[in-house]
Amino acid sequence: MKILHFKTTMCLEEGGVVKAVLDLCAMSQEDDQVGIATFDPKGLPQEWLDPETTTTQLHHLDGVLGPVSKLNAIQKQQLEKVIEQYDIVHIHSIWSLSNPQVAAICKKLGKPYILSVHGMLDDWCMSQRKPKKLLYLKTWGRKLLPGAAAIHTTAQAELDQSCAWFSRDKGHVIPLPFDLDEYRDMPDPKLAYDAFKELNPDLPKILFLSRIHYKKGADRLIKASALLDKMGIKHQLVIAGTGDEPYVQEMKQLAQSQGVTDHTYFLGFASGQEKIALFNACDVFALPTSQENFGFVFFEALAAATTVLTTKGTDTWPEIESSGGGVIADNTPEAFAQALKTILSDLPTYTHNAKAAREWTFEQMAPDRVRNSYRTMYQSCIDNARSN
């Protein structure tokens, strides 16, 4: 099977979509031919950049996309030559103007394409800048969803919301893969304490690890931390992630105005073994998000045996809750403060549950199980295209 993934840029700072593409490429079987077409391969592993060592063929597209990400004539010709080499194209995200152009090339060549919407058609997302998105769906992108061989969603709740914009029978629910190997032998928490010097080993630690963006709810967590103080619950709030600098500064000012700066630690971007050790060093991972479609970070926390506290804003909240290691709360500072108080007041019980959830994660997210689901979807779309 020859599978091409298309994503305009591959910068890790963009978050979950880039990680999803990387993991989808990495999970392929040895006899598959997998490629990735992108204008910016910055987030690819170094070994993928060497044709002698990589199993994923990089197609580094020429030029730089403009502000609306539209392909010029030369770029379309280059992509056409690339797509000719593959059986199926997997397009990631919706709103880039280049995606309908890629879809049109696929139609011209008789190649099926799958579209992963990555939560972008969820109710909350569609409520943001809705007129602009509706205009896109009615004009430039009017054929993108109808022309797809399949629409990929990562949770049933995501399909239930997003199928308002396409025929439900096109929808496929398959979780995103991620590399569980690095969680099998957990690094010592000491690695996190060595890397992040302000971690306090004497206090229970609440971890926010995500992009610092208004959607993610760092403001609500900071306010919940202040409420915990009033309840007499000693703790450290650890905020790991980056974002637009003005908003990061706004969150730091909020921490100051809420009187929690003495036990709030903005540590910046965390990755690799240091990130995993950070999960291990903290007692609860808390993300009062307004919307997530899959949320890698939830399952990373569960794989690290860290209790998860989040909202019904994530499409995978039923799965997180059913793992036994997740708590779902209303998306308010008061509800999060109360839930955190309950968890921190009975850490032995929640730690025990989190360890059981770790086993659940390794079973439910087993790479072979997820890989077979994707292969079935790809093969079905290829077979249908060839028979028509």
294 and 383, same structural domain? Answer: no
Q: Which of 49-58, 187-196, 244-253, 348-357 has the lowest mean pLDDT?
A: 49-58
My answer on whether 79 and 142 are in the same domain is yes
Higher pLDDT, 170 or 23: 170
* pTM (two decimals): 0.78
For 340-366, b/e burial (b = at least 16 CB within 10 A) is: bbebbeeeeebbebbeebbebbeeebe
At residue 368 the predicted structure's pLDDT band, cuts being 50, 70 and 90, is confident
pLDDT at position 318 over 90:
yes
Region 295-321: what's the mean pLDDT? Answer: 95
Averaged pLDDT score across all residues of the chain: 93
Q: Give the mean pLDDT of 335-341.
A: 98
Same domain, 203 and 114: no
294 has pLDDT over 90? no
Residue 180 has pLDDT above 80, yes or no: yes
* Same-domain check for residues 265 and 313: yes
**Are 114 and 147 contacting, i.e. CB atoms less than 8 angstroms apart?**
no
Does residue 301 share a domain with residue 196? Answer: yes
User: Measured between alpha carbons, how far is 63 from 40 in angstroms, rounded to an integer?
Assistant: 10
Among 53, 110, 44, residue whose Cα is nearest residue 80: 110
Mean pLDDT, range 176-204, rounded to an integer: 92
The answer to whether residues 236 and 319 belong to one domain is: yes
Higher pLDDT, 79 or 51: 79
* Percent over 70 (pLDDT), the chain: 99
Give the mean pLDDT of 128-154. 94
**In whole angstroms, how far apart are CA 287 and each of 171, 213, 217, 297?**
28, 11, 7, 9
Gap between the Cα atoms of 335 and 4, Å rounded:
44
pLDDT confidence of residue 20: 87
Domain holding 244, by residue range, is 181-364
Residue 219 and residue 279 in one domain: yes
Same domain, residue pair 53 and 192: no
User: What are the Cα distances from residue 333, in Å, to 35, 80, 215?
Assistant: 44, 50, 14
User: pLDDT band at residue 232, thresholds of 50, 70 and 90?
Assistant: very high
**pLDDT of 146 strictly over 80:** yes
User: How far apart are alpha carbons 49 and 45 in whole angstroms?
Assistant: 7
Pairwise CA distance, residues 171 & 149, whole Å: 9
336 or 20, which is more confident: 336
- In this prediction, residue 68 carries a pLDDT of 67
Domain shared by 18 and 73, yes or no: yes
What residues contact residue 196 under an 8 Å CB cut-off, 6+ apart? 238, 265, 267, 270, 274, 278
Could you give the CA distance from residue 121 to residue 293 in angstroms, rounded to a whole number?
Answer: 9
346 and 239 in a common domain: yes
Q: Which pLDDT band, with edges at 50, 70 and 90, does 323 fall under? A: very high
Q: What pLDDT sits at residue 46?
A: 83
Q: How confident is the model at residue 31 (pLDDT cuts 50, 70, 90)?
A: confident
Q: What is the tally of structural domains in the chain?
A: 2
User: Using 50, 70 and 90 to split pLDDT, how confident is the model at 282?
Assistant: very high
Q: What is the mean pLDDT of residues 192-208?
A: 96
The answer to whether residues 286 and 223 touch, using CB atoms and an 8 Å cutoff, is: no
CATH number at residue 303: 3.40.50.2000
Q: What is the arithmetic mean of pLDDT over 198-205?
A: 96
Share of the chain above pLDDT 90, in %: 78
Asked whether the predicted pLDDT for residue 104 surpasses 90, the reply is yes
Residue 242 to residues 13, 265, 332, Cα–Cα distance (Å): 8, 13, 23
How far, in Å, CA of 80 to CA of 109, rounded? 8
pLDDT of residue 293: 84
The CA distance from 223 to 286, in Å, is: 13
Q: What is the mean pLDDT of residues 219-224?
A: 98
* pLDDT score of 67: 64
Compute φ and ψ for 88, nearest 5 degrees.
-155, 150
Residues 97 and 214 in one domain: no
Tell me 206's DSSP state. Answer: E
Instruction: Tell me the pLDDT band of 66, cut-offs 50, 70 and 90.
Output: low
Distance CA 228, CA 223 (A): 9
Phi, psi of 173 (to 5 degrees): -105, 110
254 and 168 together in one domain: no
The predicted structure's pLDDT at residue 138:
94
